Amino acid sequence: MFVVLCSAGRYSVDDAIEDTNCNGIAGRDPNTGETYESLWCKDSESMGTVILGDSAAAHFHIPPQWFTSKEMSVEAFKNLFFAIENELDWPMLSSATGYKNSTWPASITGPVDSMYLRLREINRCNHRDYQSISVNGARASAMAHELVKGFARRGMTDKPVFLTLALIGNDVCNGHHGISHMTTPEEFYNSTLETLRYVDSIVAPGSVVIGVGLVDGRVLFDTLHNQIHPVGSYRNDVTYAQMYDYLNCLEISPCFGWLNSNETWRNRTTERAFQLNDAFKSLVAKESFKNFKAYYMEPAIKEMFRRWIAGGGNASELIEPVDGFHPSQIGQAITTAVSFEVLAKMGVLPPTNPFNDEIAKKFGDQGDY
Ligand code: CA
């Protein structure tokens, strides 16, 4: 069997015979003799979508059926091995790089919308050009020292990228008690700068970097504290507040500061998160980069809640039911919609490819995924 190897994101390809950059566009226009890549993609400002993120970006999700005795069945554990192998992350349904339809797996329901799908809609030449470097528990220092090295791009031969750096909580969130395990503004500034310098060394000129700030996680406790956690669903007896304190007692909470019945700790954690955001804003204002322009963007969480509630939704539907911490499928999709509107207003989105309809007509789903 003859296998064609392709490399997503490759720029300036001919693709007269093979689709070497995986976007489902190849061949030659019989009328002009030019390749379709040259006619429809070459000058279209095509870009790859990249997310450097944490478990929220990777879409951490534990199927609630694993914890609710009423729903326990062989069916409920169908995706167990897949889920554990992937560290309970579902990036293929996430706000950053989601592309699959959400009837899979059965425990995740709701719309799929993502930065990748939006950028693909703007320009079909972007098909299949996405990377998610999102790791559970990632904070600024781990991103700088280790994780960002997993981002693969070659500025000499590849297209520019539209990269989002979103570490929205772990620098103030972990299982340790107190403030000493939270990142300081100075550490945050230096680590983030190190990450961005590395990005600058491997991306093509004309790239865009969006730095997303940390969320105000107080909304989690405010929304869920007196509701029943899935483990208590049978007897109706365990609230989220009790669950959060229980996890803190064992020092295994994903976030001592925000998932805490003590309001002082919740406020102090937010205070530190806002200090880190100030450091991020000052970095973007002060530093310059060779191959991209960097922008700061507030996280979408506040507007996400406002919009869902204004539309008659229940705030708890935006949060993952088992961990009471991560955005749900609905939350992920609304995050995309809100962020995209903000980015459009900021004027940082690439232009629409005028040949999209012709690409769709000629290449259909472009080979799907
Ligand atoms: Ca191609």
Spatial distance between the Cα atoms of 185 and 281, rounded to a whole number of angstroms: 11
Measured in Å, residue 35 CA sits from the centre of ligand 1 at 10
Measured in Å, residue 127 CA sits from the centre of ligand 1 at 9
Spatial distance between the Cα atoms of 306 and 313, rounded to a whole number of angstroms: 10
pLDDT tens per residue, range 117-129: 999 999 999 999 9
Residues with CB under 5 A from ligand 1 (ion): 15, 19, 21, 23, 25
**What is the per-residue pLDDT for 366?**
94
**pLDDT band of 252, cuts 50, 70, 90:** confident
Spatial distance between the Cα atoms of 15 and 34, rounded to a whole number of angstroms: 10
Measured in Å, residue 26 CA sits from the centre of ligand 1 at 5
**What is the per-residue pLDDT for 169?**
94
Q: Average model confidence (pLDDT) for the chain? A: 91
pTM, two decimals, is 0.92
Measured in Å, residue 165 CA sits from the centre of ligand 1 at 27
Measured in Å, residue 357 CA sits from the centre of ligand 1 at 16
pLDDT tens per residue, range 14-69: 999 999 999 999 999 999 999 999 999 999 999 999 999 998 888 888 887 776 65
pLDDT tens per residue, range 254-263: 899 999 999 9
**Beta partners for residue 343, in sequence order:** none
Measured in Å, residue 349 CA sits from the centre of ligand 1 at 22
**What is the per-residue pLDDT for 276?**
98
pLDDT tens per residue, range 305-348: 999 999 999 999 999 888 888 999 999 999 999 999 999 999 99
- Catalytic positions: 55
Note the residue count of the chain: 369
Spatial distance between the Cα atoms of 99 and 152, rounded to a whole number of angstroms: 20
Percent of the chain with pLDDT over 70: 92
Asked if the model's pLDDT at residue 74 lies above 70, the reply is: no
